Amino acid sequence: MSTIAVVPGSFDPVTLGHLDVIGRAAGIFDEVHVLVVHNPDKSALLPIAQRVSLIQQAIADGGLPENIIVTSWSVGLLVDYCVEVGAKVLVKGIRSQVDVAYETPMAIVNRNLSGVETVFLLPDPAHAHVSSSLVRQVAGLGGDVSPYVPPVVAEFLQSPR
């Protein structure tokens, strides 16, 4: 039986750090579902469909493995999606102890809700300082975000909309 892992997140927008974790997950699990989820604690920059499209393009451009699908989930719990598709694992990237503190309660609640386990992966330290919120801020103030995001995202953010 194939093992499905879900990599959830806001991905607003997807960064090089996210792609690093997605690629590592795709090297471990048979099938990886990158799941764009609305985070009510964050104010969104991009519509969900735009985020999905940018991730799909970045994955294609980056030559990542073909066992990755990108989709979104807007109804109910994250683990409801996992149960629906038969995924037993969530994958989260951990950049620092701050991420551990943020992710640990969610991992335990998700396991209590559904039995779905969370696996933490360490991205390349080169991406340790990269976050979508910093990218949103730099892009919003007219700065160059190309060191932090895939080219398709940099072009999108820096083009007039």
Partners of 96 in beta bridges: none
| Count of residues of this chain found to bind ligand PNS when the rule CB under 6 A is applied | 11
Type of residue at 135: V
34: β partners: 7, 70
First to last CA, the chain: 45
Element (H, E) at 88: none
**Is 129 annotated as belonging to a binding site?**
yes
Q: Which stretch binds ligand PNS (CB under 6 A): 35-43, 46-54, 134-142, 149-157?
A: 35-43
Applying CB under 6 A, does 37 fall inside the site for ligand PNS? yes
Q: Which residue has the tokens 């093992």?
A: 3
106 vs 138 by CB, closer to ligand PNS:
106
User: Could you tell me which stretch among 2-10, 122-130, 134-142, 151-159 binds ligand PNS (CB under 6 A)?
Assistant: 2-10
Pick the binder of ligand PNS from 106, 121, 128, 134 (CB under 6 A): 106
Q: Which is nearer to ligand PNS, 9 or 123 (by Cβ)?
A: 9
Across-strand partners of 89? 5, 117
Which of 38, 95, 111, 114 is the catalytic position?
A: 95
Stretch that binds ligand PNS, among 59-67, 104-112, 136-144, 152-160 (CB under 6 A): 104-112
Give helix 132-140 / helix 151-158 axis angle, nearest 10°.
40
- β-bridge mates for residue 7, sequence order: 34
Q: Does 118 bind ligand PNS (CB under 6 A)?
A: no
Please report the beta strands in the chain, taking only residues with DSSP state E, as ranges in sequence order.
Answer: 4-9, 31-37, 68-73, 89-93, 117-121
The answer on whether 94 is annotated among ligand-binding residues is yes
- Is 42 catalytic? The answer is yes
116 is an interface residue for ligand PNS by CB under 6 A = no
Q: Which residues are catalytic?
A: 18, 42, 95, 132
